[in-house]
Structures are given as C-alpha cells and as structure tokens.
A and B are shown apart, each in its own frame.
Chain A
C-alpha cells in the first residue's frame, strides 16, 4: 500500500515515515505543506495521504482544505487527517462530503503501531476512521431532556460510539466481547430509537450517525 505524508514538522514527518515502513507500508513521498502535498498526490497517486491539519503559511486549517481538494480531484485516494486538537467541527466538515476512505485522528494515536496500521488500512480500503476523542465529544455533548440519545441504554450508546468511529459490526463485536448477532440487535434498536434509515452498508451508516450526532 502506497502512502504519502504531509506535515510541516520534519521530526514528525520522518518519524511517521519510519513507523509506516516498520508497519509494512510503502512511503511514496513526504510533503512539508499543502502545495507540495497536492503535487505529490498528483504525481504518485497514493492509496492513502496522511495530512497534518495545521500547516504553513497560515497555520490554521490548510491540511483540511488540501484534504477536501484531494477528495474532489482524486476520490479514490484515502485521506487520514491528523490533528493535535479535538475539533469535532473539522471532522464533520471532512466527513460531510462522504465517509468513504476518510479518517480523522489525534496525532498521539500514531504511537500505537497496530492501531495506526489498522486505521491506514481501513482508510485505504475505503472505510472511515473517526478518533474516539472526537466521537466522545459528539456523543457526550449536553443534550435536551427529550433527546432520543438519552433513551439509549448504556450498551447501545457504546455501540453508537464505535459505529461513529467507523467500525464494522464484526469489529464492534470483538471490541465488546459479544457476538455479532448481539451487535446487530443493538444497532437495530439504535436506528429505531433515533429514527435513522437502516443501511446495510457499514460506511454509509457512519455518515448518518455522525450527521445525526452533530445536528443535535
């Protein structure tokens, strides 16, 4: 799997490249800002681009803008956006154009090599990844008394959060040490309670869940 990395801090760029190689990926190029990143993607057409949100010249959300540009021009290139801060708004903005092959992770997650590798694989395979911190911010925000989320059981809310992170029913079942059938039952209850349209596709339901959580 071919990866490109964009980060203005050389120490992180190189470190990330080393980790990715260690995990068995092929690092096809490194970029220090959004302009270099777009050139690089055009040239090597990688499977996944890992992008730091804050880059020169304005040090605000260049990475996010570059990510959206890549999604528009090369929809089959997966995007994994890294951020040092939890900004649910950024994540939703990124996901709003479709959840296929999109991820948003806090930078510190890269220290877990297995987790990093699985996230890159998921994004590269057209799945989606949303940082648990972002999801908990979305799920945990203050809600009105009549909010349907409040009617979910503890277990159902756990399942909802894992769904939002972009995990499949099978992955959720492994996480919670329950059977896949149980997870399916929870998911059915969640969709009914929240009055969401049932979707057989794991990825499309992420968008529905995130959009729902963000709208409340």
Chain B
C-alpha cells in the first residue's frame, strides 16, 4: 500500500512541477493545484497509513494519527485560498496585459 501511496505522491508532484514550468497562466494554475494535492498527501502520510481507524474516540480501537489530518485540513484550506487568488491574478493579468503569458507577454519561450 505504501508503494502505491508513494507512487501517487511522486506522480502528483512530478506532473505538478512540470506544469508549473509552463509559460501560460492556466497550466501553471493546474500545476500548483496538482502540486498542493501531492504535498497534502505527503503531509497526510507523515502520520503513517492505517485503514479503517477513524480518529474518533470510541469508533476505533487503535485510531490513526489525527494530527497530520488536522494539518492537511488547514493546508487544503490555505491551498484553496492561494489557488483562488492565483486564478484571479491570472484573470487580472489577462485584463491588464491582454495576454496570459506568465511574463505578461514578453516573448519568452512559451509552453
């Protein structure tokens, strides 16, 4: 199971990284989103994996580590706020620079 999880994290981070290196705002947004997914999973597994051990008192004899879950929840929220801001910033860029290049249309290599 850990292998699958590691692979998932690797894939998410990897594809996220690739997308953040693109030249247009939209793929960069996607990249940041994927990256944060991967990172959230990473933080989540820092409490190790456990199946059917919901961290609710009385619901499981050996509950999973609740702290990383709380951290990830916070991280998800913050990540959401950041993504939202980035999206709107991209729109702003489109509005002010009439261009969705991350360098505001400077003719850098795109992609």
Asked if A and B are interacting partners, one says no
On A, residues with C-beta under 8 Å from B are none
